[in-house]
Structure 1
Amino acid sequence: MTQQVTIRDEDFQLARDSAGRLGTSLEEAVAKALHDLHRSTAPESTLEPGRQAELDAIRALVAEAHQHIIPGAFNDHGWLYDWNGLPG
């Protein structure tokens, strides 16, 4: 079934740019964006109570660890190893 949607000019331009980057049609780019948005905002699947408790505990640990992240810090450990991948 084909239906029409009216969007603002700047949104149309974004959709056209996205389609160009993806190498798809305008319709496919808009559909992909909508599917991605739907997937990212969909409610979580229901878990067994034990699994939900584990997930909640992990999320609490992540939230606590996130407070200690130093802005601009990086995760490059290359300086620890030589050109052969052995400890330096």
Structure 2
Amino acid sequence: MKTRLFMPAVLLTLSLISMGQALAEDRCQVPKDQWQPQSALEAKLVEQGWTIKRIKEDDGCYEVYATDAEGKRREVYFDPKTLEPVGEDE
């Protein structure tokens, strides 16, 4: 009985993971020549009270590891053209 429930659960989990990865890859579709510099994003977030740990490029987005103004640790994806948030990992 446990085996009959285990396999569908594994398949569901794998499909949700792959679906999440596909969505992450579609977040930012901006040509590189239209990107704003990382320093502009950092300045914007620092002005909002964030403490930046790291900014890196990931799947066409800026991925920011930081602590926000309320002290919450955040991992947020930003559109490199608009510098607006497009997703977050919890």
TM-score scaled by structure 2? Answer: 0.30
| Greater per-residue strand proportion | 2
| Greater per-residue helix proportion | 1
TM-score scaled by structure 1? Answer: 0.31
Q: Rg bigger for which structure?
A: 1
